[in-house]
Amino acid sequence: MMKQSLMQRIQRNQLLLIITFGWLTLLALFILVWNQTVGLNQQRLLTLAKVLDRTIQRHPSLFLNSAVPAGRVRAVLESEVDPIIRSFRPGYAVGFYPSGRQRPVILIDNGGIAVHKVEEWPADAVRRPRTDSKPEYVLSWSGPHRTWLYQCAEPVLRNRRIEGYALAAVSLTSMMAFGVQLALCVSLITLGAGLVSVMASQRLNAAIRLNLQQLLLMDHPAPKPEFQIEEFDRIARFNQKVFQDLKNAEQQRVAILESISDAFFALNHQWQFTYLNRQMERISGWKRERLLGASIFQFFPRAKLEPYIPAVEGACHQGKPHQLELEWEHGVWYELHIYPAPTGISVYFQDISARKNAEIQLRESQQRLAQLLESIHHAFFTLDSKQRFTYLNQAAERLFQIRGAEWLGKVGWDFFHAYMEPGFSRELARVWREQTVSRFETFSQRLGVWIEVHAYPSAESLFIYVLDSTARKRSEETRLRLAAIVESSEDAILSTDLDGTVTSWNKGAEAMYGYPAEQAVGQPVGRLLKAPEGESSITAIFHRWKEAGMKGTTEAVMLHQNGAPVHVAIKLAALSGMNGQTIGYSGIHRDISKEVIFKKELLAERERLSVTLRSIGEGVIATDRLGRIVSMNREAESLTGYSQYEVLGQPLETVFTVIDQLTRGKYEGIVNAVLNSEEIIHLHNLFLLHQHEREIPVSVSLAPIKSGRGECFGVVLVFQDITEKQRIEQELLKAEKIESLAILAGGIAHDFNNFLSAILANLQLALAKLKRGDDISRYLEESADATRKASDLTKQLQTFSRGEAPVKKAAAIGDLIRDTVRFVLRGSKVKVEFELPEDLWPVEIDSGQISQVLHNLTLNAKQAMPGGGTLRILGRNIRIRPGSRYLPGGYVELAVQDEGDGIPPENLGRIFDPFFTTKEEGTGLGLATSYSIIKKHNGYLEVESVPLVGTTFTILLPATNARPAVEEESPEVAATREAALLLMDDEATIRDSVGEMLRDAGYRVVLARDGREVLEDYRRAMEEGAPFDLVIMDLTVPGGLGGQETIAELKTVDPAVRAIVSSGYANDPIIAEYQKYGFCGVAAKPYKFAELKRIIDRALVGS
């Protein structure tokens, strides 16, 4: 009864255990399926979002600009995102959620959701992501598709600002399909495990029942006999049956242990054998009888077992089984399973040497493989079935410039999108999908290298072997370029082996010698390249080249296939193999037939040129680019005083020195001026310094020497002694002057007769009126006015005849221009426009004369526009370089532009001639006088005119570095005492009349006829203690001492003497530079009394 109750309790516990196990299994199954489904999809969605994020970062203008057509966006995504999304199950899609918009923009999917328009993904289907920079997962309902969407939002950052969110979504239907598949797989596995568990439970139940029966027999003693024979007999039979069953069970157990192929033995607590099977005997080598009852340490070394004893004892103490691996001998391994028992331990072990050695060999093989992969110079990496990196060698780290440890376990597509072109990912996706080996080349823009990729797929992994093929690619490109160069060369380029057999023959060789390449290759070179009789053969040329140390270029004559001679320049070279040994020879043959003909013609031309240069009358010097003399003819030797052989290679300046006739300045850098301008330069008014310091007037022309390609490689100078030419020109000029004087005399006679007639008529009228007592002041004023006009005409004639030198001072010309032009145009219909910059350089001028020039030019412009118009006055600073027709230096350029009818071309060359005029009332001296004034200022006056458009006069005045003098107005100061004046003039009429005017003005005046009287009177006055305050002297005294000689003597008498020089003919530098000669003022004749008095007062105040 107790046995039956115990068995029922055991069965109930067993059933409860099975039910509990079932529920726990179902719960674990649900958790496993959910985690795997959600985890895998989260990983895929994050991968897609990051891929789209990187695509947006690479093409921001496409995604962040709403005006870009959707077709361009889809084209980019199909090339970069499509390979990855297609590798997933259907039901995935990617999109972009721009900041500031109300709905996301769907871009591409792989089926399942089937979304292709913006409107198909409603705005309420996506919850607007957070504003932080972490990815967010959202589960939302999509009404149009009637399904749940599981989405991942990855922020898109630009310049630390969120521009939007890259979205990746998967439909819940697709997720559940995958979960169902996974659940079915796990359920099948769980069902199999449950069946195994039930079977094990049944076996366990049987074993428990057997053990319980034994325990009931052993632990519950039989009841006391009641001395009933039948009951005793029944118990005896039952005990006998139980004993027999136990014996049978023991025999069956022993038979099982003896029959298994693995060793088994039992030890008691004293480590003594209590049982061992036959396999144990075989392994140990000891008989069973010898081992039973003996200690294990008597037969097996304690040193080998000692390390495992604490673990075994601990397992026995805890009542738990223990498992360990033991290397008994080298290469001999056992796996021991130790089970504790009340009487000791039972040990079940098996020989695992084969497996263990295989594992060791596998591990060693893996280590060797790893060492091999790390030692190779090419990149190698592997991907698992989820496209994650499982291995990268050091070469891959170096090639891709990454740390392998950072990428292990990460998805490879992220790496490929960052470092490779889109074609790389597409090809690897195809290899994985089709399980085919692939070899391809691609270029990494980020790494800047070409790579050769070998991809080997397997069921679980993808092995990728990458070679840096940049050097090979560049070598191939170089080889192709060189081959193209060789083939396109017009030179004959050929090569031979060591025996002289042609191995290559380019198109230039075909054209030069007439043999096609297919005919020439394989032939002895001597059979193809033949020399005319008397010329060196190609073999002889080759031997001479080797004797000369395999250097240099040889000129030779070879025969074309048609027999025509070809002049060639041959450059030979040895060809070396990989080991550095010579494997053949190459030759470059250049056709120099034209050069040979040209050289012959050049020699003949040089000879003719040499004869010509020796025979011409001009000096000729040729220089190189550095200005060194390379040749000169006999005339140049005669003019310079140097022979050609003395000066070859010397700088030009050491032989050819020229100075300006006016300024006496040296001309330097003329060779560089010609080389820089590459134009012909003509120089005039020069003196050439002979070797013996003799000055020779010359004219010089310089021209660049250019090659046929237009390159300038030297300068040629042609110069001529113009002494005779100048003499002839002077004679011609005299003749022209005589002719001009005739015209001038007629004009002067006409004008002066008019002035004298007016003066004479007015004086006669004054005399007649004076006798009658009438007022004659009007007639005297008209006479004075006619006299002033005659004086002005005289000044113009002096200026024109270069008689009146300008009194020059540094001045700012801007105000002078404005004042003069405005004065002339006052009351006219002409409008004036000034374009004069404030930074015009100062010029050294006679302000009165330059004002006269501007007056004449403005008046002409005014008369050219009687109906009105615009006169433009332009000014600018310019700098003239050496080699120009102007003297080098800084200039102020003034342009006077009118809008008149212009000057007819036939008159344009005569407008500066004196008395040439087309006006009825003109004198013809205005432009001639202006031209003369500008020349005296070392300037230039030029004219350009277009009929019916207008005329432009251009003035160039040399600039100065001197600061403009500030005119200080001297107040009119009346003499506080009677000033003593000494007046000297050789004309008695002028001396007396001027002396009378000065006395009338309150001065004390003493008169002198010449310089000697001045010296006597001045010494006498000093001796008497009444020295003169001022001396006024005529510059020129015929037959006596003039003002220049007298002032020098006066300075010795009185260094503080103050004197004014006067003259009616100002063709003397003393008038222009009076202070230099000791004078303190200058007065021009005829005198205007008010002006003379102002000059005298200024001189007296200065004292």
Q: What secondary structure does DSSP assign to 64-95, as a single string?
A: S-TTS-HHHHHHHHHHHTHHHHTTSPSSEEEE
CATH superfamily of 807-958: Histidine kinase-like ATPase, C-terminal domain (3.30.565.10)
When mean pLDDT is compared over 695-709, 818-832, 1004-1018, the highest value belongs to: 1004-1018
**What CA–CA distances, in Å, run from 935 to 78, 794, 806, 857?**
83, 19, 11, 16
Instruction: Single out the residue of 190, 233, 230, 166 nearest to residue 33, CA to CA.
Output: 190
What is the edge-to-edge ordering of all strands in the sheet holding 344-351? 273-276, 263-268, 344-351, 332-341, 322-329
Percentage of the residues of the chain whose pLDDT score is greater than 90: 7
CATH 3.40.800.10 fits 260-356, yes or no: no
Partners of residue 444 on adjacent β-strands: 449
Rounded-to-integer distance, Cα 177 and Cα 88, Å: 13
Rounded-to-integer distance, Cα 625 and Cα 710, Å: 14
**What CA–CA distances, in Å, run from 705 to 51, 593, 597, 625, 708?**
67, 25, 22, 9, 10
When mean pLDDT is compared over 33-37, 232-236, 256-260, 974-978, the highest value belongs to: 256-260
pLDDT band at 530 (very low <50, low <70, confident <90, very high): confident
Cα 950 to the center of its chain, rounded Å: 48
- pLDDT of 840 reads 92
Partners of residue 596 on adjacent β-strands: none
Lowest mean pLDDT among 166-180, 676-690, 710-724, 874-888: 166-180
Which CATH architecture best describes the domain 489-597?
2-Layer Sandwich (3.30)
Indicate the DSSP class of residue 101: -
Rounded-to-integer distance, Cα 386 and Cα 575, Å: 54
Rounded-to-integer distance, Cα 904 and Cα 951, Å: 10
Mean pLDDT of 942-954: 90
pLDDT band at 983 (very low <50, low <70, confident <90, very high): very high
What is the edge-to-edge ordering of all strands in the sheet holding 565-576? 502-505, 492-497, 582-591, 565-576, 553-559
pLDDT at 412 over 60: yes
The contacts of residue 961 (CB under 8 Å, 6+ apart) are 842
User: What CATH class is the domain 29-184?
Assistant: alpha beta
Question: Mean pLDDT over all residues of the chain?
Answer: 77
More confident: 180 or 324:
324
The contacts of residue 229 (CB under 8 Å, 6+ apart) are none
Please state whether beta strands 869-880 and 830-835 pair in parallel, antiparallel, or not at all (unpaired): parallel
Rounded-to-integer distance, Cα 548 and Cα 537, Å: 17
Best CATH choice for the domain 376-473 from the list 3.30.450.20, 3.40.50.620, 3.30.1550.10, 3.40.50.2300: 3.30.450.20
For helices 412-419 and 2-58, give the axis angle rounded to 10 degrees.
10
Secondary structure class of 229 (helix, strand, coil)? helix
Lowest mean pLDDT among 23-27, 31-35, 776-780, 940-944: 31-35
- pLDDT of 408 reads 83
pLDDT band at 227 (very low <50, low <70, confident <90, very high): very low
Lowest mean pLDDT among 80-94, 97-111, 733-747, 767-781: 733-747
More confident: 811 or 314:
811
State the DSSP H helix or E strand holding residue 583, giving kind and residue range, or none if neither. Answer: strand 582-591
Cα four-point dihedral sign 1041, 1046, 1049, 1050: positive
Q: Contact 659/687 with Cβ under 8 angstroms?
A: yes
pLDDT band at 180 (very low <50, low <70, confident <90, very high): low
Residue 86 φ/ψ, nearest 5 degrees:
-70, -20
**What CA–CA distances, in Å, run from 197 to 18, 164, 192?**
9, 55, 9
Cα four-point dihedral sign 385, 386, 392, 397: positive
What CATH code would you report for 620-721?
3.30.450.20
pLDDT band at 107 (very low <50, low <70, confident <90, very high): low
- pLDDT of 819 reads 83
Q: Contact 491/588 with Cβ under 8 angstroms?
A: yes
pLDDT band at 954 (very low <50, low <70, confident <90, very high): very high
CATH topology of domain 980-1102: Rossmann fold (3.40.50)
Peptide bond into 1086 cis (omega under 30): yes
Q: Which residue has the tokens 């969407």?
A: 149
Lowest mean pLDDT among 119-133, 232-246, 421-435: 119-133
Q: What count of other Cβ atoms lies within 10 Å of the Cβ of residue 950?
A: 22
Q: What is the pLDDT of residues 1086-1100, one digit of tens each?
A: 777 788 888 898 888
Extended beta strands in 246-331, E state: 263-268, 273-276, 322-329
pLDDT band at 1058 (very low <50, low <70, confident <90, very high): very high
Give 633's Cβ-side CA count (13 Å radius): 18
The contacts of residue 12 (CB under 8 Å, 6+ apart) are none
Q: What count of other Cβ atoms lies within 10 Å of the Cβ of residue 312?
A: 19
Q: What count of other Cβ atoms lies within 10 Å of the Cβ of residue 898?
A: 25
- The first and second tokens of residue 449, run together, are 């290298």
Rounded-to-integer distance, Cα 834 and Cα 821, Å: 10
pLDDT at 877 over 90: yes
**pTM score of the predicted model:** 0.30
Q: Where are the alpha helices (DSSP H) in 1003-1075?
A: 1011-1023, 1043-1053, 1069-1072
- The first and second tokens of residue 933, run together, are 């004034």
Percentage of the residues of the chain whose pLDDT score is greater than 70: 74
For helices 777-800 and 723-772, give the axis angle rounded to 10 degrees.
180
Helices and strands in the chain: count of H runs, count of E runs: 35, 38
User: What does the angle CA 893 – CA 896 – CA 901 come to, to the nearest 5 degrees?
Assistant: 145
- The first and second tokens of residue 792, run together, are 């002005």
